[in-house]
Amino acid sequence: MEFSGHNVLVTGANRGIGRAIALLLGGYRNKDDQPLKVWINYRSNHEEADTLKQEIEKAGGRAALVKFDVTCEEAFVEGIKTIADSDGGLSYLVNNAGIVLDKLAVRMKTQEFLQVLETNLKSVFVGCREALKVMGKQKFGSVVNLSSVIAERGNMGQTNYAASKGGVISMSKSFAYEGALRNIRFNCITPGFILTDMNAGLKDELKAEYLKSIPLARLGESKEVAGAVAFLLSDLASYITGETLKVNGGLYM
């Protein structure tokens, strides 16, 4: 896979899908035969983030840590500024950080609805907006936003999550229009049920029920989502923008 850029920021990169994305991207080199520099964003667990950094570097890659909470607009803005000042720009952004706060709609408090939107939607807007500013100056860039299959098909008990992730898809299309004027691409990934810490506690009977709905009859792996992200960031996808790529085993077609 070819990359014209030189660095990438992955939010929520210290665990789960974000970690897999950071690891995979850390193994790529750009057209100048330099490793992509991976900026590992994390909120609180420094040990996890530093372990990931060391793993990337041990494999011959380049990595750096940038600590901030994506729900804090000022911190997100400052984080991207730190990267741009350090590296002279930002080539790629992966908005991966997100939360779930599941509850039946009739029992869901407005604050619980807004809390999920704050993390999953507002933070993506801030990241895309700030990336567009930085990337606009260099007339190059690519952004991949992590949405979800739940945004496309809905799910009981996930009204807030579906709303936030559905917003990510719609918003990314609008950013794609604005970014195209400056050679900046915005795309989405909608993972299905992926084996991560977030769903590791699923009961076997519930997992079996989900598998009945998945044509490939298995849960996905984080590395499979990471591969799709890398493709959309890369030069191989240079004529793709405003697109939503499904990685769900056929759960929603």
Instruction: Please give the positions annotated as active site.
Output: 161
Find, among 38, 215, 247, 217, the residue nearest to 146 by Cα: 247
Residues 6+ apart with CB under 8 A from 161: 100, 101, 102, 116, 120, 148, 150, 155
Residues 6+ apart with CB under 8 A from 37: 6, 7, 8, 62, 63, 64, 87
CA distances from 47 to 51, 57, 114, 117 (A): 6, 15, 30, 28
Strand-pairing partners, residue 145, are 95, 188
Pairing of strands 141-146, 37-42: unpaired
